[in-house]
Amino acid sequence: MRRRRVNRVATISMHTSPLDQPGTGDAGGMNVYIVESAKRLAQLGIEVEIFTRQTARDLPPEVELAPGVTVRHVTAGPYEELDKEDLPGQLCAFLSGVLRTEAAYDPGRYDVIHSHYWLSGQVGWLAKERWGVPLVHTMHTMAKVKNLLLADGDKPEPNARVLGEEQVVEVADGLVANTAAEAGELIDLYGADPSRVAVVNPGVNLSLFRPGPQDAARRRLGLPSDAHLLLFVGRVQPLKGPDVLLRAAAEMLAEDPGLRGKLVVACVGGPSGTGRARPSLLADMARSLGIDDVVRLVPPVPQAELADWYRAADVTAVPSHNESFGLVALESQACGTPVAAASVGGLRTAVRDGVSGLLVEGHDPVEWARVLHRFVREPRLRADLAAGAVKHAEAFGWSATAARLAEVYARAMARLHRTPIAITS
């Protein structure tokens, strides 16, 4: 029996481009995931073509992201960023562009489709039927889970998204979950076939995010060498909980006014989701809490500079209300900076409680202040967790993620075509 091999993957990322700067708009951990896994898949000899919506008139039809990785811009709707609520109206136009691209080549160009987020899954579903290839899907976030864990100020995900996700789960030949907990949610909340669900941990770029001298990083960023630096990295929206960090900092200063001369609370990221409605939310909150003198709001930065922010910090706070994994936590730990993270979702996997950081139950600012104060008051604890953070992060490399994805692709192909498994040529 002929063995089918995985040679080329059509990756669908409709609502956010892998070329976008993570940390603002809809660009975040998913962008990093797609870019880094695609690069490592290419190193395994598997070509990756990433389809995304064109958001500027002057963008070329295709861009080489890395050897073996191509980004294809598909015209669908206006040349501007659209809210996710408006994107379902562009599904047909986007699908048409994807199908036209494939039709320009000989049949059989793609061996498998990997869609990211439910909108892309809808496109992948129809492309799968047209091309006769398997569909592998990664949720990244799930409406049913988000609606169970809504932050104050967030609105529930619409029923249309819930239905769309259920449809994708039903038709996908393979479902990729970031953690065992997420796999359980797919099975329990969406009725996913357990035999089609695979756990693939995301990774971290260990050559970029690595330990370095804290003093040197602070000099490069213009930060005081003796500061107590609390860091938040991510999109500014209620889901990510940056308000929890600001309220906790206010509690710390109320309890210990002597901290004010050294405490620095840095928030690196831009407005996203419902946070776009109030882009000045964090600045306004800092003023109302009386801590605007210690808060620094920093727009999204390139990854090399982001690594310096991690190295400069005493602790990275990840107070999210839900995370499918939490790449920020992993990046920080890889740089040798421990994490204080909410005990939710994938953060329970990304952070090893008591070894690489501390998990915090709930989002009470008083409890967060107590935990964060430990990183200020207990240098031995901070040093022990920093050492554990580096060791913990070393187990999460993108090469391992790509190798596991290649296995998932091969199994999805074998399931669809009922042939023996083969991964690369």
Closest to 98 (Cα-Cα) out of 61, 146, 43: 61
Burial of 218 (0-12, 13-18, 19+ CB in 10 A): buried
The SS3 call for residue 55 is coil
Domain 214-395 CATH (choose: 2.70.98.60, 3.40.50.2000, 3.40.50.970, 2.130.10.10): 3.40.50.2000
3-state DSSP helix/strand/coil percent for the chain, to nearest 5?
45, 15, 35
| Residue 22 counted as an annotated binding residue | yes
Q: What is the pLDDT of residues 83-114, one digit of tens each?
A: 777 888 899 999 999 999 999 999 999 999 99
pLDDT of residue 64: 96
Q: Which of 175-179, 270-274, 412-416 has the lowest mean pLDDT?
A: 270-274
The reply to whether 157 sits in an annotated binding site is no
Token output for 418: 């009922």
Domain ranges of the chain: 8-203+398-417, 214-395
pLDDT at 274 over 80: no
The percentage of the chain sitting over the pLDDT mark of 90, rounded to a whole number, equals: 79
Residue 79: its pLDDT value, please?
77
Distance CA 264, CA 231 (A): 8
Residue 421 scores a pLDDT above 60: no
Q: Sign of dihedral through CA atoms 21, 22, 27, 29? A: positive
Q: Is 84 annotated as a binding residue?
A: yes
Q: Token pair for residue 247?
A: 């309220």
pLDDT tens for each residue of 169-204: 999 999 999 999 999 999 999 999 999 999 999 999
102 annotated as a binding-site residue = no
pLDDT of residue 2: 45
Burial 286-315 (b: 16+ CB within 10 A, else e): beebebbebbbbbebbeeeebbbbbbbbbb
pLDDT in tens, 20-38: 876 566 667 788 899 999 9
Question: Cα dihedral sign for 64, 66, 69, 72?
Answer: negative
Q: Which of 137, 134, 171 is nearest to 418 (CA)?
A: 134
Task: Assess whether pLDDT exceeds 70 at residue 1.
Answer: no
Average pLDDT, the chain: 92
Task: Tell the CATH superfamily of the 8-203+398-417 domain.
Answer: Glycogen Phosphorylase B; (3.40.50.2000)
Same fold across 8-203+398-417 and 214-395: yes
DSSP 236: B
The answer to whether 180 touches 350, Cβ cutoff 8 Å, is no
pLDDT digits (tens, 9 = 90+) for 113-129: 999 999 999 999 999 99
* Residue 238 counted as an annotated binding residue: no
Position 89 scores a pLDDT of: 86
Per residue in 359-394, pLDDT (tens digit) is 999 999 999 999 999 999 999 999 999 999 999 999
Q: Is 371 annotated to bind ligand?
A: no
User: Is 313 one of the annotated binding-site residues?
Assistant: yes
User: Is 310 labeled as ligand-binding?
Assistant: yes
Which is more confident, 316 or 77? Answer: 316
